[in-house]
Amino acid sequence: MYTRSSHSCLLQLFLVLAAVISELLAPPNATVDPLDPTTQHIGCGLATVSQLGTALAALEAKLAAAIRGLSNATTQANTTATDAAFAQLTQDLAALTGQVDALEASVAALNATTQQVSADTAAAIAALKVSLQQLAANTTAAVASLKAGLQQLQANASAGIAELMGDLQAVNASTSGLLRVGDAIDAATLGGVAPAGYVRVPTRVALYALGATLQGNLGGRAGADRSCQSDAGRPAGFLNARALLSVSSTDTIAAMPTLYGVPTNLPITSAAGAPIAANWADMLDGSLPASFAGAGVTTSAVSWTGATSSGGYAQGADCAGWSSASSGASGGAGDPTASSNGSYLSGFNITCDSLAAVICLVF
Ligand SMILES: *[C@@H]1O[C@H](CO)[C@@H](O)[C@H](O)[C@H]1NC(C)=O
Ligand SMILES: *[C@@H]1O[C@H](CO)[C@@H](O)[C@H](O)[C@H]1NC(C)=O
Ligand SMILES: *[C@@H]1O[C@H](CO)[C@@H](O)[C@H](O)[C@H]1NC(C)=O
Ligand SMILES: *[C@@H]1O[C@H](CO)[C@@H](O)[C@H](O)[C@H]1NC(C)=O
Ligand SMILES: *[C@@H]1O[C@H](CO)[C@@H](O)[C@H](O)[C@H]1NC(C)=O
Ligand SMILES: *[C@@H]1O[C@H](CO)[C@@H](O)[C@H](O)[C@H]1NC(C)=O
Ligand SMILES: *[C@@H]1O[C@H](CO)[C@@H](O)[C@H](O)[C@H]1NC(C)=O
Ligand SMILES: *[C@@H]1O[C@H](CO)[C@@H](O)[C@H](O)[C@H]1NC(C)=O
Ligand SMILES: *[C@@H]1O[C@H](CO)[C@@H](O)[C@H](O)[C@H]1NC(C)=O
């Protein structure tokens, strides 16, 4: 039996449930009023699992209440209620139950998606962790390798510096005879040449004779040059000193500009400056404006030359390369008083035990 009041109560309950269902099935734009489950606005596409769970719980509670109310209504049935109204209500409740089942299926699907996302996230985090560990290991390895490289570089640099120091000391030792910054610059440090001789551009070639006459064993080119360089009468202010001698077919008076740098463009004078020839070629052309003796170069009657009249090599007349003082050897000598026919270079052949002047030139 149905009473009218219990019938209208059932209708009210149905309206409430219908409102809840419509909220659950609302378009995908969810807002939540956490204080009242019945006022939730849930978009199924956007609802979270937890929101849907809450909504379902509320719906289930309302359904249970509805069923209880129905049961109560049945027991208090008002015989005036129509069977049609009751049948309609039962049908609506069945439809509602179907919708709840569908909702549960969506929740399950959403839950599955969430689980998948969560699993994917966990996998991504694990992969990231592995990468980070590898990066850390790689970094450690790179740092260790850099450190080893630096140590090797340091060792190499030390070895290089030690080697350089060795070289430096060797150079230092090999140049110990050279002038150093701070050394005094004087004739003692310049091998007997006054400092002016290093900086002055020569303006003439000067002739002078050794202080003593000598036999033919002059010590070859080197010995004769040394005698010229160390002679007390050597004019000051000239860097170079050489003996005016032909020594061999290749080391002749005529070759002295090429071999020893004698200037060919300067006037030739005595040490005191008396003119002898206009230049090198003028001295070798056979005649002189002034003889050696006339210019005050020597007072000796003969001077060792070993030369032809034009300054070449008088083969067989060189006291065995200016090494012999034998009476059995012969040496070419000039006549210092002569100024023509090249006789001042090639005047006589005399025995090597004779005493003759050695004429030197400075430039
Ligand atoms: C049952 O329904 C009728 C008609 O609507 C009403 O007059 C009556 O009072 C109801 N009975 C009870 C017990 O509610
Ligand atoms: C979703 O809700 C927000 C805030 O209530 C509202 O501004 C917006 O218009 C809604 N969007 C839809 C598609 O209903
Ligand atoms: C059902 O009826 C009982 C007894 O009258 C009452 O205590 C209970 O609250 C009723 N329940 C509902 C949902 O109306
Ligand atoms: C979602 O799935 C997990 C695991 O499958 C389960 O433990 C959990 O109860 C589910 N949540 C809901 C709201 O269905
Ligand atoms: C670490 O080094 C290995 C081999 O050198 C390389 O294959 C890998 O990509 C590196 N990992 C990172 C994170 O740099
Ligand atoms: C150090 O020297 C060795 C041999 O001289 C060479 O093979 C190596 O590359 C050098 N290392 C560095 C870092 O210069
Ligand atoms: C080089 O030699 C000088 C003197 O001979 C000495 O005083 C100096 O210390 C040496 N230098 C080196 C680097 O050996
Ligand atoms: C120079 O040589 C010529 C001819 O060769 C000769 O007539 C002359 O007398 C010589 N002069 C001297 C000073 O020897
Ligand atoms: C000196 O002797 C050499 C070699 O015998 C000879 O060629 C030269 O003409 C001689 N010189 C003089 C001036 O006699």
Which DSSP string corresponds to 205-229?
Answer: EEEEE-SS-B-S---HHHHHHHHHH
Tokens standing for residue 156: 């190499």
At residue 239 the predicted structure's pLDDT band, cuts being 50, 70 and 90, is confident
- Cα(346)–Cα(244) distance, rounded to whole angstroms? 12
- Cα(215)–Cα(224) distance, rounded to whole angstroms? 11
Ligand 8 interacting residues, C-beta cut-off 6 A: 340-341, 343
pLDDT higher than threshold 50 for residue 275: yes
- Cα(301)–Cα(70) distance, rounded to whole angstroms? 168
Instruction: List the residue whose alpha carbon is closest to atom 12 of ligand 7.
Output: 169
Question: Percent of the chain scored above 70 by pLDDT?
Answer: 78
Residue 353's Cβ-count burial label (10 Å; 0-12, 13-18, 19+) is middle
At residue 198 the predicted structure's pLDDT band, cuts being 50, 70 and 90, is low
Between residues 20 and 208, the one the model is more confident about: 208
Substitution candidate for ligand 8 out of 340, 343, 345 with most atoms within 8 A of CB: 340
Mean predicted lDDT score pLDDT of the chain: 85
Q: Is 82 helix (H, G, I), strand (E, B) or coil?
A: coil
At residue 188 the predicted structure's pLDDT band, cuts being 50, 70 and 90, is confident
| pLDDT at residue 131, as a whole number | 95
Mean pLDDT for 73-84 is 58
Do residues 305 and 333 lie in contact, with contact meaning Cβ atoms separated by under 8 Å? yes
220 closest CA partner among 345, 318, 139: 318
At residue 56 the predicted structure's pLDDT band, cuts being 50, 70 and 90, is confident
Quick: pLDDT tens for 291-316.
Answer: 999 999 999 999 999 999 999 999 99
| pLDDT at residue 94, as a whole number | 87
Percent of residues in the chain assigned helix, strand, coil, to nearest 5: 50, 10, 40
| pLDDT at residue 13, as a whole number | 55
Domains recognised in the chain with CATH numbers:
4-101 (no CATH), 151-176+198-363 (3.10.100.10)
Quick: pLDDT tens for 82-132.
Answer: 666 777 888 888 888 888 899 999 999 999 999 999 999 999 999 999 999
- Cα(259)–Cα(265) distance, rounded to whole angstroms? 16
* 65 Cα nearest atom in ligand 3: 13
Greatest CA separation found in the chain? Answer: 182
pLDDT higher than threshold 50 for residue 148: yes
Between residues 97 and 179, the one the model is more confident about: 97
| pLDDT at residue 45, as a whole number | 38
Do residues 227 and 285 lie in contact, with contact meaning Cβ atoms separated by under 8 Å? no
CA of 3 to the centre of ligand 1 (A): 5
* 168 Cα nearest atom in ligand 7: 13
Other beta carbons within 10 angstroms of residue 270's beta carbon come to 21
Quick: pLDDT tens for 6-54.
Answer: 455 555 656 655 655 555 555 444 444 444 444 444 444 335 566 667 7
H/E stretch holding 269 reads: strand 268-270
Give me the sign of the Cα torsion angle 255, 256, 258, 260: positive
Instruction: List the residue whose alpha carbon is closest to atom 14 of ligand 1.
Output: 3
